[in-house]
Amino acid sequence: MSVKIRLQRHGKKGKPFYWVVAADARSKRDGKYLEKIGTYNPNTNPATIDLNLDSAVQWLHNGAQPTDTARAILSYKGALLKHHLDGGVRKGALTQEQADEKLAKWLDEKAGKVTAKTDGLSKAKADAKAKALKAEQEVNAKRVAAAAQAEADAIAAEAATEEVAAEVEAADEAVAEVETAAEGTSESELAEQTTEEVVAEAPAAEEAPAAEENNEEKEA
């Protein structure tokens, strides 16, 4: 029976999640499988891979052929390297201790690279978040400054309006005072003129009886 190591899709639409399985090459892609040997989640950065290294290597020893994507996963997790080293041990090219040491060293280096990448991504994410926060703070500061300026302008406009109203009121009061004074002056002049006319008429009235008396004396 020909066996393939391949991916079997699971997960929701738009967020795929894969199982790494050993399956009969004649079975459907998402059909029955012989053994589940790991998982692959491409939704994280970096992608999350969980692999049973010993099971994967055993299937490789048994002649299972990985698909291109499965081969990349097996290489990433060191399964292909262990398969190669085990072949060297069987041929006597190196001891099991040497093979284990080489594999452990490679896994440590790989873990260091993954950690460095994860840290770099975390730092980049933190920097982007800090930059976005700074930009948001600047926008908020500008918004607050604009609101304060608008409030100051409104207060200044209100003060100017009140000042103009006060000036208009003062002008109205001044006009009223002038009109009152003018009315008082007109009444005084009228009273004075009336008095003068009465005084002028009084001598004329006194002269008239005197003239009548003189005329009567002449006639007598």
Q: Residue 92 carries which side chain, given as an amino acid letter?
A: G
Is residue 215 scored above 80 in pLDDT? no
Second-level CATH architecture of 3-94: 2-Layer Sandwich (3.30)
How does residue 219 score in pLDDT terms, banded at 50, 70 and 90? low
Is residue 76 scored above 80 in pLDDT? yes
pLDDT tens readout for residues 90-124: 999 889 999 999 999 999 998 888 788 777 777 77
Q: How do the domains of the chain map onto residue ranges?
A: 3-94
Q: Residue 91 carries which side chain, given as an amino acid letter?
A: K
